[in-house]
Structure 1
Amino acid sequence: MATLDDLRRTAVTLPGSEERATMGGAAWFVRGKLYAWQCHPWPSIPEDMREIIASELVVGVKVADPVDALALVQMAPDVFLRTTTAWSEPKVAFRMAGIADDHLAELVMEAWRVQAPKYLRREFDSRDAD
């Protein structure tokens, strides 16, 4: 089962990434833009999703396109939740208990890429090439 510490291990390797405590839990930003967050059962979330979020660890990440989020939900509907709110679209939320560590790292890195400025993406890519 993936944990927030697993997410942190990936996030700390991403240039410009910072973790902040929010009212809803932990959240990760790159240059002030949110890319991953611990979901909280806010009243604006549909009741069935709110029950899941209240009972287990759920994380949300930004995605490049709503089609990407839909594909993940259709691929593993027991892990990926349908849209929780209309805010911060496009995004996808998932149950941490159902995510393998390597898939978590991939989701976090891709979310960071969606939000990171080009110069930070180039920095990360050049570091990866070395």
Structure 2
Amino acid sequence: MVTEDDVRRVALSLPHTTERPSYGTPGFRVKDKLFARIREEGDVLALFVADESEKHGLIASDPEKFFTTSHYDGAAMILVRFGAVDVDELTELLTDSWRLRAPKRVVAEYYPAG
């Protein structure tokens, strides 16, 4: 199970990331574009995914870990329960969301091979 401190540590380790509240909860931004937010529940993370197909695939693959609400209908965003992921998976999820939202030149700095 991950904690808010784990989310913060991993998110802020990504290049050009800052923390700023979003809807009154901790939000993480790359070059001022939100890529992750801890929701009001305190143990749920909102992240971006590539598209709605990926979103629905993740939910179908593990509904105890991934879910959504009507607020995110039509959005390529997924909700992740802290208690269902470990730090390695959290790192992968946050990095993927960061990569989707970061400017191309920033991604190129972090992933020189493309």
Same topology, TM > 0.5: yes
Larger radius of gyration: 1
Match of 2:19 in 1: 19
Q: Percent identity at matched positions?
A: 32
- 2:106 pairs, out of 120, 126, 129, with 120
Correspondence 1:101 to 2:101 = no
Correspondence 1:75 to 2:61 = yes
RMSD: 1.9
Q: Which runs of 5+ in 2 are unaligned?
A: none
TM-score, normalised to structure 1, is 0.78
Q: Secondary structure at the match of 2:13?
A: coil
Q: Which runs of 5+ in 1 are unaligned?
A: 41-52
> Where does structure 1 differ by over 6 angstroms across 4 or more consecutive aligned residues?
none
Distance in 2 (alpha carbons) for counterparts of 1:60 and 1:27: 9
Relative to structure 1, is the Cα distance of residues 84 and 95 closer, same or farther in structure 2, using a 3 angstrom cutoff? farther
CA deviation map 1:26-61 (0-9, x unaligned)? 000111111000112xxxxxxxxxxxx4xx611100
